[in-house]
Amino acid sequence: MKLDVHAQVRRANGFVLDVQLSCDTPVLGLVGPSGCGKSTLLDAIAGIEPGARVTRDGHVLTGVPLHRRGIGYVTQDALLFPHLTLRQNIAYSSTAGPVDDVAHALGITHLLDRMPRHVSGGERRRVALARAIVSRPKLLLLDEPFGGLDEARRREALALVHDVHHTYNLPMIIVSHLREEVVGLAEHVVHLEQGRIADAGPATALLRVGETRVDNYLAGRVVAPGRVEIDGLTLDASVPADAQGRVRLACYANHIRLTAQPPAASSARNVIATRVAAVTPAGDGLLVSLDRPRLRVLVTHDEGAALGLAPGRAIAAVIDAAAITTIRTLLAADAQGLIPS
């Protein structure tokens, strides 16, 4: 997604948004404190807020009506029609495609005949996301999609957004006041302060070893109690006793330890012989991508140097079983390929 935006918005209360940005990235993160102009900038890109020149992938959107911009917008409030069922809400757009596949992918098939007042806030957000996806947008805007969620539900929501982007190859702009919420999803991040860009660059530049929580999202299959198969490897994981079939799993990047050789003795249940796929400078450390399973690991520069980390380097990954947690059980539709491993 090539995006060029020049937005100038003045409020009666004295607030001024003056932003000029150009980027080429599949997922853009907008971060900054409350009131810095993140939502206003999204409104300007969507065409709700006048005063912006917007070009997306060579198409000038300035002056184009909202419904013709090819933009899906999920606001902080799901804004569902209270008199329509969830299925009718999802299919409301004149450009809406089939509902069932997207509903399966988002885990809301069993809710489609309910009215909005009979589902939770998190479920309403999923419906709003489904409505945006089936409208076949060229760009998806997400305003604080993880706000008000506890840690478990936040990780589930992060995994869901990760799935949506990769399943539908859908460019996104994600807004959050917490940089750690977008750093694992976005490739490029813009930091706003008081209506202006304070900093911009690769998301990896915001990483902090031991502080920033970057999640790895994995699809696995339960093969025995507490045992899952991921990328052809059988690992111990924190899996509910009654879990069966395919599951979506998560593991924080700073919960994985790398060693030159498999340790002779370790309390960790998983010691994996693998290779380094890539090493990327990341804030005050390095983000190491592993070949199999496909995991990202945060290490310090000193650790990277001591291990001689470089693409192709044989390495051992040590992961405690409790660090690999279940996000959710995948549906039958997921097993058919709607959500990739």
Answer yes or no: do 237 and 95 share one domain: no
**CATH number of domain containing 102:** 3.40.50.300
pTM, to two decimals? 0.87
pLDDT of residue 14: 93
DSSP β-ladder status, 71-74 and 139-143: parallel
Answer yes or no: do 220 and 202 share one domain: no
Answer yes or no: do 153 and 233 share one domain: no
Answer yes or no: do 221 and 190 share one domain: no
Domain final residue pick, 183, 206, 229: 206
Please name every residue paired with 16 in a beta bridge, in sequence order, or none if there are none.
Answer: 10
Answer yes or no: do 144 and 219 share one domain: no
* Closest CA relative to residue 163, chosen from 46, 24, 333: 333
Answer yes or no: do 141 and 74 share one domain: yes
Q: Residue 213, class by beta-carbon neighbours within 10 Å (0-12 exposed, 13-18 middle, 19+ buried)?
A: buried
Answer yes or no: do 201 and 261 share one domain: no
Domain final residue pick, 185, 206, 227: 206
Answer yes or no: do 35 and 65 share one domain: yes
φ, ψ of residue 28 in degrees (nearest 5): -110, 130
pLDDT of residue 184: 83
pLDDT digits (tens, 9 = 90+) for 249-260: 999 998 999 999
> What is the total count of domains within the chain?
2
Domain hosting 137: range is: 2-206
Answer yes or no: do 243 and 179 share one domain: no
Answer yes or no: do 249 and 124 share one domain: no
**103 contacts 109 by C-beta, under 8 angstroms:** yes
**CATH number of domain containing 309:** 2.40.50.100
Domain final residue pick, 159, 176, 206: 206
pLDDT of residue 208: 83
Answer yes or no: do 250 and 290 share one domain: yes
Answer yes or no: do 327 and 192 share one domain: no
pLDDT of residue 330: 60
Residues (pLDDT < 50) of the chain are 331-341
CA–CA–CA angle 217, 221, 225 (5° rounding): 110
